[in-house]
Amino acid sequence: MAGSPPQPLSLPEEFVLLSHRESGRVHETKQTSYGCAAAELGELALRRALLVRPRKTRKLGIEFYGGPGEMELLAPGPTGLGWADALVAELVQATATATAPKPVTARRWLRRRGSAALSLHRAALTERGLLHHRPGALFRKERYYPERGARDALINVVRAAYDGRGPLDAHLLFLCQLVESAQLKRDFGLTRWRHQHIDSSRVPAPRLPEDLRDTFNALRTYVPSREQ
């Protein structure tokens, strides 16, 4: 509708915008694809539509997360986001069998979903004018240039969360965790997280339900390191 305020970015849109450098490239396409798909599941978790159930152990008071992470759909109804509703429907279909529901693991899902997720949210950001697409041609690779003002504003929000100058909610916490997992900290001049560091399972703020905290911690571990 004309004159309507712009819709806020979803987690995967924010992650994709942050991942694109001024050169129009990302550091590593596979890593970015996994991170984008993880952000999609994180958005569903924030909307209490989905949880990831990892294998969790505790040693010396510190929690460790492992295993493939079975996904549990909580509410297959509308989420308020078109892409998220389509994703939930796809997950419902993926878990359905002729006799009983079949668990889908987050690790396998990210591998299957990553490229499609990145393409989807790149297109959405391009439509909104937040990425500027330059098609590939002979001797010239395809590029997606981020809208500098929007990207810089988002980087400042993440920086403020890291150093304690800004508010921190569950959405921003998971975005910061993805920044950490995707090895983007150095790009943004980030060093230490305000609560010791972001990998700690003892970060006191915000106080999350345990199942949501487990979901976030599991998803970030499934984002691979950059390929050499």
How is 9-75 classified by DSSP, letter by letter?
PPHHHHHHHHH--TTS--S-HHHHHHHHHHHHHHHHHHTTSEEEEEEEEEETTEEEEEEEEEEEES-
pLDDT in the model for residue 104: 83
pLDDT in the model for residue 200: 45
pLDDT at 34 > cutoff 50: yes
Q: Rounded CA gap, 109 and 143, in Å?
A: 26
Q: What percent of the chain stands above pLDDT 90?
A: 58
- Higher pLDDT: 52 or 139? It is 52
Give the β-pairing of 131-134 and 62-73.
unpaired
For residue 68, whether the previous peptide bond is cis, meaning omega lies within 30 degrees of 0, is: no
Mean pLDDT value of segment 75-81:
84
Please report, as a single letter, which amino acid is at residue 28. E
Q: Rounded CA gap, 177 and 216, in Å?
A: 8
Band of residue 194 on the pLDDT scale cut at 50, 70, 90: low
Band of residue 12 on the pLDDT scale cut at 50, 70, 90: very high
Mean pLDDT value of segment 152-177:
89
Q: Rounded CA gap, 112 and 44, in Å?
A: 17
pLDDT at 2 > cutoff 70: no
Band of residue 58 on the pLDDT scale cut at 50, 70, 90: confident
Q: Rounded CA gap, 12 and 20, in Å?
A: 13
Please state, rounded to an integer, the average pLDDT across all residues of the chain.
86
Longest dimension (CA), the chain: 57
Buried b (16+ CB within 10 A) or exposed e, 203-212: beeeebeeeb
- Higher pLDDT: 209 or 132? It is 132
Q: What is the pLDDT of residues 101-139, one digit of tens each?
A: 667 899 999 999 999 999 999 999 999 999 999 987 777
Paired with 137 in beta bridges are: 140
